[in-house]
Amino acid sequence: MKLPFRRGLFWDVDFDLLNEQKHKTYIVQQVLNLGTIEEFKLLLDYYGFDQVRESVKVAGYFDPKTFSFIIGFFDIDKEEMQCYTKKRLNQPHWI
Protein backbone atom coordinates (compact mmCIF):
# COMPACT_ATOMS: atom_id res chain seq x y z
CA MET A 1 0.00 0.00 0.00
CA LYS A 2 1.30 3.46 -0.87
CA LEU A 3 1.51 6.03 1.91
CA PRO A 4 -0.92 8.92 1.39
CA PHE A 5 1.43 11.54 2.84
CA ARG A 6 3.47 14.12 0.96
CA ARG A 7 7.03 13.10 0.22
CA GLY A 8 8.45 16.33 1.65
CA LEU A 9 7.65 15.19 5.19
CA PHE A 10 10.19 12.41 4.77
CA TRP A 11 13.00 14.46 3.27
CA ASP A 12 15.72 12.56 5.14
CA VAL A 13 14.87 9.02 3.95
CA ASP A 14 13.96 7.24 0.73
CA PHE A 15 10.19 7.63 0.67
CA ASP A 16 9.73 4.61 -1.59
CA LEU A 17 11.37 2.32 0.99
CA LEU A 18 9.10 3.32 3.89
CA ASN A 19 6.99 0.47 5.21
CA GLU A 20 3.67 1.56 6.73
CA GLN A 21 3.92 -0.83 9.71
CA LYS A 22 7.66 -1.24 10.20
CA HIS A 23 8.25 2.54 10.15
CA LYS A 24 4.97 3.61 11.76
CA THR A 25 6.55 5.48 14.68
CA TYR A 26 8.84 7.42 12.35
CA ILE A 27 5.93 8.27 10.03
CA VAL A 28 3.79 9.47 12.95
CA GLN A 29 6.68 11.56 14.31
CA GLN A 30 7.36 13.24 10.95
CA VAL A 31 3.70 14.03 10.23
CA LEU A 32 3.18 15.49 13.69
CA ASN A 33 6.39 17.55 13.66
CA LEU A 34 6.22 18.80 10.06
CA GLY A 35 2.71 18.22 8.74
CA THR A 36 -0.40 20.35 8.48
CA ILE A 37 -3.63 19.86 10.39
CA GLU A 38 -5.07 18.14 7.30
CA GLU A 39 -2.15 15.70 7.30
CA PHE A 40 -2.71 15.08 11.02
CA LYS A 41 -6.35 14.18 10.28
CA LEU A 42 -5.20 11.91 7.47
CA LEU A 43 -2.76 10.25 9.90
CA LEU A 44 -5.59 9.52 12.34
CA ASP A 45 -7.74 8.12 9.52
CA TYR A 46 -4.87 6.01 8.19
CA TYR A 47 -3.63 4.44 11.45
CA GLY A 48 -6.48 5.10 13.88
CA PHE A 49 -6.45 7.04 17.14
CA ASP A 50 -5.13 4.21 19.33
CA GLN A 51 -2.22 3.27 17.06
CA VAL A 52 -1.13 6.90 16.70
CA ARG A 53 -1.42 7.37 20.48
CA GLU A 54 0.83 4.37 21.13
CA SER A 55 3.32 5.48 18.49
CA VAL A 56 3.73 8.97 19.96
CA LYS A 57 4.61 7.43 23.32
CA VAL A 58 7.71 5.73 21.87
CA ALA A 59 8.76 8.40 19.36
CA GLY A 60 12.23 9.86 19.79
CA TYR A 61 11.57 13.58 19.36
CA PHE A 62 8.84 16.20 19.16
CA ASP A 63 9.40 19.92 19.15
CA PRO A 64 8.05 21.59 22.32
CA LYS A 65 4.88 22.97 20.68
CA THR A 66 4.01 19.62 19.12
CA PHE A 67 4.78 17.86 22.40
CA SER A 68 2.30 20.09 24.26
CA PHE A 69 -0.37 19.47 21.63
CA ILE A 70 0.17 15.70 21.75
CA ILE A 71 -0.10 15.32 25.52
CA GLY A 72 -3.28 17.40 25.50
CA PHE A 73 -4.95 15.85 22.46
CA PHE A 74 -4.17 12.23 23.35
CA ASP A 75 -4.50 12.79 27.14
CA ILE A 76 -1.06 11.34 27.86
CA ASP A 77 1.01 12.04 30.96
CA LYS A 78 4.34 13.49 29.84
CA GLU A 79 6.15 10.87 31.91
CA GLU A 80 4.74 8.21 29.54
CA MET A 81 6.49 9.86 26.60
CA GLN A 82 9.85 8.36 25.73
CA CYS A 83 11.02 11.62 24.15
CA TYR A 84 10.41 13.37 27.49
CA THR A 85 11.94 10.82 29.80
CA LYS A 86 15.07 10.22 27.68
CA LYS A 87 16.29 13.71 26.76
CA ARG A 88 15.65 17.25 25.46
CA LEU A 89 12.25 18.11 26.96
CA ASN A 90 13.36 16.89 30.39
CA GLN A 91 16.41 19.12 30.78
CA PRO A 92 17.25 19.98 34.42
CA HIS A 93 17.72 23.61 35.40
CA TRP A 94 21.14 25.01 36.07
CA ILE A 95 22.60 24.58 39.52
Q: Where are the domains of the chain?
A: 7-90
Interval 13-70: pLDDT, tens: 988 888 899 999 999 999 999 999 999 999 999 999 999 999 999 998 999 999 999 9
SS3 letters across the chain: CCCCCCHHHHCCCCHHHCCCCCCHHHHHHHHHHHCCHHHHHHHHHHHCHHHHHHHHHHCCCCCHHHHHHHHHHCCCCHHHCHHHHHCHHHCCCCC
* pTM of structure: 0.83
